[in-house]
A and B are shown apart, each in its own frame.
Chain A
Amino acid sequence: MLSALLVMAAIAIVLGAVLGFAAIKFHTEGNPLVDKIDAVLPQTQCGQCSYPGCKPYATAIAAGEADINRCPPGGEEGIQKLADLLGVEFKPFGSDTAAPKPKSVAYIDESTCIGCTLCIQACPVDAIAGAAKQMHTIIAVECTGCELCVAPCPVDCISMPVIEEKISNWKWKYPLYALNAAQTTDQTTDQTTATGAVR
């Protein structure tokens, strides 16, 4: 009886020590879930979710304070990813968030710009180059298309043209083809029609 108690106590002490050691050794700073959610978000830092950036929104989702359907730049695919990550149901966009738009990039009309630097202060990713009373310009590759620079501009010289499809960003489309009535095919003709023949 006593020996059994002693054995159990010894096991408990050993396991407790292991757990205590692991708690210190494998301690993680912050909430790892926040980083995982942040990795899924599109990082436009646009604030359309009503939080001041992607990280604060991720923190709010992790804390259970925010819904997963508040990020228009992420699109429905983004909601799906968040749903998969958090193990919750997909939720369509609510009426209080803006509808997803095609990706755009800011453009400054340099002949109108007065060099007030207000847009530079608004840009969350430092994608505007310029100085006081000097013309400003967008560093297009860094621009996330968040539109935060549009409102502060006192002369309305910033527009948000949609990114056009070019050869460099063109994607193969999902194969779609019209269904015609069944035809009788002549088996004796050349059947060498693989990829090239589907138009």
Chain B
Amino acid sequence: MRKLYRFHGGIHPPSNKMQSTRNGIARAPLPAKLIVPLQQHAGEAAKPVVQAGDHVLKGQLIGMPDGFVSSAVHAPTSGTIAAIDLQLIAHPSGLPNLCATLIPDGKDEWVEIKPVDYRSHSSDDLQQLLRMAGVVGLGGAAFPSDIKLRTGKQKITTLILNGAECEPYITCDDMLMRERAAEIVQGAEILRFMLDATEVLIGVEDNKPEAIAALQQAISADSAVLEQNRRHEVVAIPTIYPGGGAKQLIRVITGLEVPSGKLPTDVGVQCFNVATAWSVYRALVYGEPLLSRVITITGNVRHAQNYEVLIGTPIDELVALSEALPDTDHYIMGGPMMGMPLPAVHVPAVKATNCIIAASAKLFPPPPPAMPCIRCTRCVEVCPAELQPQDLYWFAQSKEFGRAQVFSLFDCIECGACSYVCPSHIPLVQYYRFSKSEIRAREHDKQLADQARERHEFREHRIEREKREKADKLAAREKATQTAKLASSQPSATQPTELEASRAHIREVAQSGTEPNATEIDIP
């Protein structure tokens, strides 16, 4: 039995996972229309490479990665691109973003796909393949996986697969582990190969015994794992929210603490979601880009279930499959702790969509009005990042962003544990998000201002230089005309030029037979 550690704080919200695990993963039917956003990942949006009216095949590239942190976007099925325009997407702002609308032709015809034997490729090649396959973290942040595999000189000893799934209601990773454990284990082996890690630890919360058993069986049956005698291990971790946070999971499994402002790779660990491992396996062993994912539809619905959903499927069609109850008044994407309310139910499912919760006033009663902070510090007790949430709240209110940064605001993982226990019902996380985005905006403005200053100073310098050069030129011309005047007033024929004089001198030396010394001859 492996020794486990604890992270600070944490809470025990009711898990509500049973509803959606009664049935296996079902395949959602092909919708009449797919809306594929060109930015589904952290970083730069992909650049569209198709036009409205183009016929595309399943798996065909429609968005080219653009920039260092970016990822590809593909057509989830064969059909015709109806439009590339701004569409409402699942984003807390409720603003539209560039999307490709695809009308499926129903043939589901694949583009030519090329499986690769990962063992015969370098890690760099595989990273490029994953980037072009659009593989991003499926835990919710959608960070491009190829960047996380680009560890450079850092030695990774431990690869951790995150199957904790600590948020209430969400069961998509649980069901994936139960049903596709063998593929997850093989995906883990590919990731281990790319990172050259020595061990693979799959962290699963102990409220998912079926998933743990399935993974253990898959590991013992996997020949690639057995023949290399690698250490693959399933680690059952205690069920505490937010045990699935990367830094918290690393702490629990290895006892290592990722320092503030550092990455897990700085302590020799890298972390991937189990669903990401599965999509890495599909992308390399089958050559299939990331076109679908498993999404939990739960909450105020008649049949809560997990569906394998094509990216771009409108969420209202999924909700209809599970039959949302009539008193549903809004929908949450993600879990109840960290998720966000959807701006509209017809927005498309994206790579980051792990769960859709139909919410009603009965299931999630509106929070009572926020009362003043009484400094009870219950938020401090539960904060998994060991911050002082009540102070950060204070700084956000007074807009003292500098002090908030001193108090490690950016270590906040926005898990919502502080808001959950707050007896005054203060929406604390919203204050931290406000502070964070204000700080980011200010830093961006500062950068632009510095750039403008530099350009302005260079312009002043250039104008000054041009003025000087003009003056110099004018002076030189004046001087030239003066000397010309002077020369024309005197007879020039009697005065041999310097060049002619030196040539004559060389001729003399050559005629006299003496070897000319280089230092003696001075040719201008």
Residues in A lying within 8 Å of B, measured CB to CB: 38, 41-45, 53-55, 124-127, 142, 144, 165-167, 169-175, 177, 179-180, 182-183, 185-186, 189-199
Contacts and interface: CB of A to CB of B under 8 A. Distances in A.
A110 to B, nearest CB: 23
A192 B419 contact: no
Nearest to B451: A142
Q: Chain A at the B interface: mostly helix, strand, loop or mixed?
A: loop
Tier of interface size on chain B: 35 or more
A55 B330 CA distance: 52
Interface string B342-375: 0000000000000001010011111111100000
B436 A193 contact: no
Contact of B433 (A142, A165, A169, A172): A172
B414 interface: yes
Contacts of B5: none
A170 B93 contact: yes
Nearest to B37: A167
A196 B335 contact: yes
Given A171-B441, A174-B434, A194 B416 contact: yes
Nearest to A38: B453
Interface stretch (B52-60, B245-253, B423-431, B468-476): B423-431
A169 B366 CA distance: 29
Contacts of A144: 448, 452
Given A172-B92, A177-B370, A195 B339 contact: yes
B21 to A, nearest CB: 18
Contact of A196 (B338, B417, B437): B338
Contacts of A142: 451-452, 455
B12 to A, nearest CB: 11
A196 B359 CA distance: 10
A177 B370 CA distance: 9
B335 A170 contact: no
A196 B93 contact: no
A196 B337 contact: yes
Contacts, number: 136
Given A172-B436, A175-B431, A192-B336, A197 B91 contact: no
Task: Report, nearest first, the 9 A-B pairs whose CB atoms are least far apart.
Answer: A194-B416, A43-B449, A175-B430, A172-B433, A43-B452, A170-B93, A125-B455, A171-B437, A196-B339
Contact of A186 (B365, B427, B451, B456): B365
15 contacts: A42-B445, A44-B452, A142-B455, A170-B91, A172-B430, A172-B436, A175-B427, A179-B369, A192-B336, A194-B338, A194-B420, A195-B338, A195-B339, A196-B337, A196-B357
A190 B359 CA distance: 12
Given A180-B369, A196-B336, 15 more contacts: A45-B452, A142-B452, A170-B437, A171-B438, A171-B441, A172-B434, A175-B427, A190-B363, A192-B13, A194-B336, A195-B339, A196-B338, A196-B339, A197-B367, A199-B341
Contacts of B97: 167
A177 B366 CA distance: 12
Contact of B367 (A166, A186, A198): A198
B340 interface: yes
Given A166-B95, A167-B97, A193 B456 contact: no
A185 B416 contact: no
Contacts of B9: none
A197 B168 CA distance: 14
B14 interface: yes
Contacts of B362: 189
A39 B394 CA distance: 27
Nearest to B169: A192
A55 B459 CA distance: 13
Contacts of B370: 177
A126 B460 CA distance: 10
Nearest to A197: B364
Contacts of A53: 456
